[in-house]
Chains A and B, each alone.
Chain A
Amino acid sequence: MLHNTSIDLAVNLAVIARQSGVKLTPVASTLMATLCANVRNGISLDQLREAPLAASPDGIYDYSALKSAIQRGAEGQKIPGNRHVVASYAESAHDTLMDNYIKEYATLVSTHILFARSVVYRDMQTFVDKLQSSVSGIRMKNAEDLFNVVYVRKHDVFNSSVIENEVYPYRDHTCTNSKFGFRESIFTPEFDLLDSLLTGETGQDELIKNWYASVGGEKLLSYMRVVDSDSFILRLSSIAEQMNFYLVNFLFFRKLALQPDLSVGLSVTALTGLAVALRNANACWLLSAMDQYNNYVKSNMLMFPLSSGSLSFLPENGGIEVRIIEEVFERATAEGLTLEHIFGFIADRGQEPPTLDTIKNSGDSYLEVWRRQRGLFSVYTSERRQSMLKDAILHTYREVLSSPEHMESMAEYYGQNTQAVNESVRQGEAYLAGLTFEEMENSLSVALHLVARIAYRHSNAYDIIKGMLEVMARDPETEPTRAVTVSITRYLTKYLMSQLVRT
């Protein structure tokens, strides 16, 4: 039996097929061939010729005779009833075949849907979750991240009275060495560094406290713990840090010289003598460092020399520390220069620090250098991200393939044969090799291909899930149940149409 709806739609489509010059023929020995033969054999063309089809005035033909003929060709025999016999219906061969196959296919397709949803889609979701978790930690740097910019400004404490009165007098002195071999013994838990630096003058001490807070007690304490100050100073990355180093030591030994109350195994006289010597040495070195700093500012240097390295795109590099001299940079910004000018200069010239005039006189040429570098870096990071994403996808894919859930599902088809998994990996790698970066970023699509199409290639889950995702992509409001219905309908239609030859 064929429902009227099926026949009405079929005749309309047959007209379209004729207009498109399409003739359909069932492939021999297929279900479609048998079903169609059953109906076709019941249609008498001679009978049809006797039933002319009237065309409507607007040119739409009436195919009711054809529809009736198809209906009769498919249906069985109606046995009329009478007083003794109940009316009945004897199934046609077409009825029997159609009813049986509908039931069998419905059961089979149910199994396929169940498998697609509860096994294949589960693995797809696992893949997507794992992948997103692993790539969320990947943060690619911006070009500006290649630099670690620190603004340096000389603290007011370096212009205070204690400096003016007790440090400036060391100008033109030859600075001596400043080793203090028993430092560690004074750093007891009770040791209060800030207190050991104060002068007793309120205004001066406020400046010292402010400076102490801005640099940080821990850092200043680390300066105090240094035994071999000569090599340590070499490791300090800027004059500004050296100034802090010498100031904390100067203030400490200055107070110790006045109050020699530390228990370090020396007589008061010896301790005082040592403290005075170290106070003087640190004052001398502090003045030398301050002079260097002032010379930088006077000569309009925008930054201190780079402590190490040059511009590198390698992410392992934590970024070049660029110590900008804030007083000079303020003058530069007033003249329209930016950090990008300085970045361009570093990219072009390396470690040599630029002056304000050097950059200003070059117009925007260093800005152009930086823009080109940014462009190159963008290409570099894009390629690197693509490579990292591809690695993450493959790693995640292997994880899913080796998960107990997947192994259990595959065992139903392949037993314990690892060749099937190896083949999944091989096909997966080949698939990934052909993807663009944008395609790789669509994790659900990648999961669909890797998991549903490749790993579960023995099933038809790919078609079912793909159709479902397409429906939901067109209308995100679509309920999953509706999406499955549409997908499976499409899948079945495609399957049945594959039993036809189109000429």
Chain B
Amino acid sequence: MTNPTISTADAGIDLVDNAVIIANVIELASGIVANIDASTANGTMNRDGMSRAVLANLVANDIKASLTAQ
């Protein structure tokens, strides 16, 4: 069996556009949460031990749920 090769163009412009959009949603949402003032409500909201990568995954989960929702 021959390994298929594809170009990004073959994959479709939609793939590029969607990836750019989603990357921005993840970056912005996780960035905001990670930068919320640790002094809020006497420490109610802080970084909570969650790294930005973990927050990004949290955002990605919600996006995935949104994308696959009927």
Residue A264 at the chain B interface, CB threshold 8 Å: no
* Also in contact, A490 and B62, with CB within 8 A (given A2-B27, A45-B8): yes
| B52 in contact with A3 (CB, 8 Å) | yes
Q: Is the CB of A10 within 8 A of B22?
A: yes
Residue on A nearest B2 in the bound complex, by CB: A55
In contact, A24 and B15 (Cβ under 8 angstroms): no
Known contacts: A109-B36, A113-B36. The answer to whether A66 contacts B48 by CB under 8 A is no
Could you tell me if A48 and B25 are in contact, using CB atoms closer than 8 angstroms?
A: no
Residues in chain B near residue A73, CB distance under 8 A? 20
Contact A485 B50 (CB under 8 A): yes
Within 8 A of B (CB), among A145-203: none
Interface residues of B in 5-49 (CB under 8 A from A): 5-9, 11-33, 35-37, 40-41, 43-46, 48
Across-interface contacts of A494 in B (CB, < 8 A): 62, 66
Q: Which of B24, B41, B60 contacts A117 (CB 8 A)?
A: B41
Contact segment of A13-21, A220-228, A317-325, A432-440: A13-21
- For A57, the chain B residues whose CB sits under 8 A away are 3
For window 11-46 of A, CB contacts with B under 8 Å fall at 11-18, 20, 22-26, 31-32, 35-36, 39-40, 43, 45
A408 to B48, CA, bound (A): 32
Chain B CB within 8 A of A107 CB: yes
Q: Please tell me which one of the listed residues A9, A35, A54 contacts residue B57 in the complex, with CB atoms under 8 A apart.
A: A9
Q: A16 — nearest CB in chain B belongs to which residue?
A: B67
From B21, B36, B41, give the contact of A118 (CB < 8 A).
B41
Which residue from A22, A26, A103, A493 sits with its C-beta under 8 Å from B59? A493
Q: Give the residues in chain A near B5, CB-CB below 8 Å.
A: 52-55
Q: CB within 8 A of B32: which of A23, A55, A492?
A: A492
Query: How far is B3's CA from A51's CA once the two chains are assembled, in angstroms?
Result: 16
Evaluate contact between A18 and B40: CB separation under 8 angstroms.
Answer: no
Contact B45 A26 (CB under 8 A): no
Any B CB within 8 A of the CB of A98: yes
A13 pairs with B24, CB closer than 8 A? no
Select the residue from B21, B41, B67 with max chain A CB neighbours within 10 A: B21
Chain B nearest CB from A60 CB (Å) reads: 11
The complex places the Cα of A65 from the Cα of B46 at a distance, in Å, of 36
- Asked if A262 is at the interface of the complex by the 8 Å CB criterion, the answer is no
| B-chain residues with CB within 8 Å of residue A31 when the two chains form the complex | 28
A395–B7 Cα gap in the complex (Å)? 67
What secondary structure prevails in chain B residues at the interface with A?
Answer: helix
Determine if B24 and A2 form an interchain contact, defined as CB atoms under 8 angstroms apart. Answer: yes
Which residue among A6, A25, A102, A103 has the maximum number of chain B CB atoms within 10 Å of its CB? A6
Question: Does B62 lie within 8 Å of A65, measured CB to CB?
Answer: no
Q: Which of A52, A69, A489 has the most chain B CB within a 10 Å cutoff?
A: A489
Shortest CB-to-CB span from B23 to chain A, Å, is 4
Chain A residues with CB below 8 A from B3, complex form: 54-57
Quick check: B11 and A53 within 8 Å, CB to CB? yes
Contact partners of B16 in chain A: CB under 8 A = 14, 40, 43, 45, 48, 66, 69-70
Contact of B29 among A3, A53, A489 (CB under 8 A): A489
**CB-defined contacts of B45 to chain A, threshold 8 Å:** 110, 113, 481, 484-485, 488
Q: Counting CB contacts under 8 A, is A49 at the interface?
A: yes
12 A-B contacts (beta carbon < 8 Å): A6-B26, A24-B22, A32-B24, A53-B5, A101-B28, A109-B33, A113-B36, A484-B44, A485-B50, A490-B58, A496-B28, A497-B25
Which 4 residue pairs are nearest across A and B when measured between Cβ atoms? A10-B23, A106-B35, A14-B19, A14-B18
- Seen from chain B, the residues whose Cβ lies within 8 Å of a Cβ on chain A are 3-9, 11-33, 35-37, 40-41, 43-46, 48, 50, 52-53, 55-60, 62-64, 66-68
A interface vs B, CB < 8 Å?
Answer: 2-3, 5-7, 9-18, 20, 22-26, 31-32, 35-36, 39-40, 43, 45, 48-49, 51-57, 61, 65-66, 69-70, 73-74, 98, 101-103, 105-107, 109-110, 113-114, 117-118, 480-482, 484-486, 488-490, 492-494, 496-497, 500
